[in-house]
Structure 1
């Protein structure tokens, strides 16, 4: 989910077991950001890694009170090593929040609607200044933000009947303000991808034959058989490993079913063919395990746009791909919540993934930021209390009632309960994700 109004959610259906490594530097950002958006792939990927490693406020008082709570999570959190990469990830989040809130703010100001506050972050104020009727502030926790309106502030200098208060504006004016944050994130996401195609180029990948062995655990069945890190598994018992996204699971399935039985493994090592006989150990659950990490044999490369027309085509294609994955992931959460609820993550998870992306390839932050923007936009347009979509739903209900609003107490109750639930969810997620961090588990 991401952090949007009322704390939007950030959609990233990919929570792996806490013991697994978030991602290796040899993996492409596309795989980190896109493959993980497919819930089906997420469950398969999570199972794959585990099996292989073991071989087995008031109506219009505030808009966008954002707290970072993300519906599907980023995979297992490896850690937050590297202050520079963490700052880069936090910086990306802050900019995305700023863009979203700026959308609400500008939509209001351009219509001469009164705005009283523009805040980035939560908690104690680090810096603040007043310009005309608006207080601008930066707060200590850069994981959210909000735009404040003086509509129901008893200390406001404006009359309750002032036509320039948000609550007194026509329905269309309010719809523009409430939806502007989502629109800003969508435009920003496309702009990021367009810029990337013209500058560093989009990351692309090609799946090659075989499966790479990034790591071999000491004293494991694989180590005893002579398997080495960086080997590429080409075949098992004479059967070639497929060259697609299912290649890892193909090997996992064979190993699981063969505890204690010989498997002849054809490897490619520094351009030479090597054959080893491996006898998988039996795990506690009875499945075979060989003690390695596996990864698809992927060749990554960058594709830079030739001109503006080509940049438009490439950016549009990537935008559609990321957007489709986000929507698909959200649909899986809604349809199959029981099995996908554990994929919901909070700001700690986002920062952890962003830091890993930055460490792997700083240029990958373009796609990371685009993905966050799209997640934020999609989740926040949902008709849930405290999100942009929740406000829009109330406005739609008002329109259906012929312009008659719900009583203030009812609207306030709906929104207040939504904010409390999101705040509670955010706290739970932050605690859980922090406990899942690699360095925390190692304490």
Structure 2
């Protein structure tokens, strides 16, 4: 059922984003008197369609995009017969280059506007929720398997990130941190300051569903909540705190676990704090490294930044464009070999970006991110994408000479082949990840 909810969110998000993207092209085309023949969400085969005025509106069975067919434009329809006829006043090719440029940018512009508006509203309504950095700077962390591989040890206090102070625990694994040049964490390890470089390819691990757990947890204080079944003879009471074991001070639960595990099968002395008093007790550790108590951990409180609507406008806008900047950096690192191409995800990977239960705030945040990425990807100078058309139009505006129809048709074919190969790659990645390969 969780997967169904995620798929439903993806389909709704894509329908909204593709719809407004193609509407951006259509409205710009109509503004300049161009004839719009088709407006489709999804690709053929057609589920249903209807005609209103000169335009056929429809829904395709493959929900991976959409298209607008503008008369006189070389596009994925490859309508060579129409392009062989003399240009008509209402056709795309008959209009000035600057008008055609606006039409091609129309979809990208509305995706950017939608992403920015969504992030502004979310920033105003929710603010920024985060965990204060004092916990990782002053208390310390417990690295999981990913953290240990990166070079962290239990109790490390992360005092700086990339040589700078930081406010949020989440900054330790943010895109800004991991994509920076010479990225590193500076830690205080028992009074010794050392730098831990972010390992090459570390950002690849972000795709792991349990990344945060496997990276690190924050050290937590603890207290006894109750005794295990049949362990009523133990010298503990609820709310007792174990503060020393065999002359070793114990402040955090991981310290307690480590010392107890090292004394499995032995009797060890402990100091227990009960209210304002301290008691000395002896406790037998069972062979399985347990004592027979249940504990609760505590000591971490979240924080948030709240914004007025006026403050949310620049903050939300910056968040939206930062998504594009981070994707551009990631793409650059991918071409440079710093990030594996396995990180490129298709529909299955995108499904997992949505929460497993329906939450409108999470839905709109993810949709805003996809909208900004969609705008960025469409602006890439690849034939068959909006960015490819933009490059040819800029060339025409600068040189005063338009590329021939044959050249544009050939470029369209090359672009479509490239995109098909890219789809094979992303679907392949999705399938491999699905089977844990």
Structure of higher CA gyration radius? 2
Deviation readout 1:395-423 (Å, 9 max, x if unpaired): 12222332x32222221011111112202
Structure 1: gaps of 5 or more residues: 1-79, 217-233, 257-264, 280-296
- State the aligned residue count: 313
CA contact (8 A) 2:34 2:91 kept: yes
**1:335-391 residue CA offsets vs partner (Å, 9 max, x unmatched):** x1574433222222112222xx35495422332222212212222212111111110
Please state whether the residue corresponding to 2:36 is helix, strand or coil.
Answer: coil
CA contact (8 A) 1:190 1:370 kept: yes
Counterpart of 2:86 (choices 160, 164, 177) is 160
TM-score, structure 1 as length reference: 0.61
Q: SS of the residue aligned with 1:405?
A: coil
Q: Is the 8 A contact 1:200 1:304 kept in 2?
A: yes
Which residue of the partner structure matches residue 401 of structure 1? 399
Structure 2 distance, partners of 1:337, 1:243, is: 26
Q: In structure 1, what is the equivalent of residue 310 of structure 2? A: 309
Structure-2 change in CA distance of 1:412 and 1:266 (3 Å)? closer
Partner of 2:343: 343
Take 2:364 and 2:122, find their aligned partners in 1: how far apart are those partners?
Answer: 6
Which residue is equivalent to 1:376?
374
Give the distance between the partners of 2:402 and 2:321, measured in 1 at CA: 37
2:97 corresponds in structure 1 to 171
* 1:441 to partner: Cα distance: 4.8
Contact 1:90 1:351 survives alignment (8 Å)? no
Looking at structure 2, the residues matched to 204 and 351 of structure 1 have their Cα atoms a distance apart, in angstroms, of 25
Q: Is the 2:98–2:397 Cα contact (8 Å) retained in structure 1? A: no
Unaligned residue ranges in structure 2 (runs of 5+): 74-78, 147-151, 162-171, 173-183, 190-195, 200-216, 224-250, 263-298
d(CA) in 2 for partners of 1:126 and 1:317? 39
Q: CA deviation at 1:101?
A: 1.1
Check the 8 A contact 2:89/2:95 in 1, yes or no: yes
CA 1:340–1:113 in structure 2 vs 1: closer, same or farther (change >3 Å)?
Answer: same
Deviations 1:62-84 (A, max 9, x none): xxxxxxxxxxxxxxxxxx94312
| 1:184 aligned to which of 106, 110, 115 | 110
Residue 436 of structure 1: aligned partner: 433
What is the CA–CA distance in structure 2 between the aligned matches of 1:107 and 1:266, rounded to whole Å?
Answer: 52
Contact 1:235/1:241 (CA < 8 Å) preserved in 2? Answer: no
Task: Quickly say closer, same or farther: Cα 1:104–1:168, change in 2 above 3 A.
Answer: same
Q: Deviations over 1:251-288 (max 9, x none)?
A: 9x8xx9xxxxxxxx995353652421579xxxxxxxxx
Measure the CA separation in 2 of the matches of 1:134 and 1:162: 17
Contact persistence 2:344–2:429 (CA under 8 A): no
- Could you give the per-residue CA deviations for residues 274-303 of structure 1, whole angstroms, max 9, x where no partner exists? 421579xxxxxxxxxxxxxxxxx9965554
- Structure 2 CA distance for partners of 1:121 and 1:298, relative to 1, 3 Å: farther
Q: Structure 1 residues 431 and 249, CA, compared in 2 at 3 Å: closer, same or farther?
A: farther
Q: Aligned to 2:86, what secondary structure does the other structure show?
A: coil
Q: CA deviation at 1:142?
A: 1.5
Closer, same or farther in 2 for the Cα pair 1:410/1:240, shift >3 Å?
A: closer
